[in-house]
Every structure is written in structure tokens, then in C-alpha cells.
Amino acid sequence: MNVLIIGQGIAGSCLAWELKRRGADFTIADRPIAETASRVAAGLVNPLTGRAFRPGWRQEECLSAAEAFYPETERELGGSWWQKTPIFRELETEDQLEVWQERQTAPESCAYAGPLFPWPEHWEGRGKAAYTR
């Protein structure tokens, strides 16, 4: 089987990695565009996304796949791109605060919705803040 992959963003790269692991032949055709989604995104895994801080689709399954996949690519390629870091979330409105509090107790999100803390006085802004773990 010879697979033609069009585009080498994160999706094309991961597919190529998997095909290589399985011993399949493939070719990648990419267009040299400077600002693709994979190049400009600040981070690729965020367990509570969007304004409603929703857990991602098939979250646990995807996180454990990522946990296995990215460190393997680091070991083989000798780099470092799987770094876990808390994500700062500003909770400006009452609605956002309420949603965050729901996320703190819901089974599918409580592991990720960190405790609330007051917005630091010396920062601009208002309301409360929290970290996504």
C-alpha cells in the first residue's frame, strides 16, 4: 500500500508517523505556507476548551493516546514538545464563574478544573481566575 498524505501539519505528521510505525509506504505533499494552524497554535492539548470550558470529544481516550504518542516521538526524534503546564483562565462574568464551578464537580471535568483564586490586584482585569490542570 502506498499512501499519499496531502499536508504536513500535525494531522499529516501524526498519520505519517503511524504509517511508518506500521511499515507502510507513504509520500507527503505539503505546500510551504508560513502560517498554518499547527504552526501558530500556542498549544495542542487543552482539556477544557472554549467559552464553556467543555471537556473535549472522547477526552480520556484522546489524552491517554497523546500521553503515549508524543513522548514516543520525543524519544525517537530527540526533542521536547510534550510539556504539561497549567492553563490560566480568566473568569470575568458570573456565567463563566458558574460554569467553572459546575466543571469543578462534574465527573468528566473535575480533574481539570482547578480551584478559584482572586484576580491578582496588580494585574488589569477583574473577577476571579483559575487554572486548568
Ligand X SMILES: Cc1cc2nc3c(=O)[nH]c(=O)nc-3n(C[C@H](O)[C@H](O)[C@H](O)COP(=O)(O)OP(=O)(O)OC[C@H]3O[C@@H](n4cnc5c(N)ncnc54)[C@H](O)[C@@H]3O)c2cc1C
Residues that bind ligand X (CB under 6 A): 6-12, 29-31, 33, 36-38, 40-46
Strands, E, within 9-95: which ranges? 25-29, 48-49, 54-55, 87-91
Q: Closer CB to ligand X, residue 22 or residue 31? A: 31
Category of 106 on φ-ψ map: left (φ > 0), alpha (ψ -120 to 50) or beta: beta
* Locus of grid cell 486548568: 132
CB of 130 to ligand X, least distance (A): 17
Q: Closer CB to ligand X, residue 24 or residue 29? A: 29
CB of 15 to ligand X, least distance (A): 9
CB of 54 to ligand X, least distance (A): 13
> What does each C-alpha distance from 3 to 31, 38, 59, 69, 106 come to in angstroms?
17, 22, 28, 21, 42
Q: Closer CB to ligand X, residue 29 or residue 65? A: 29
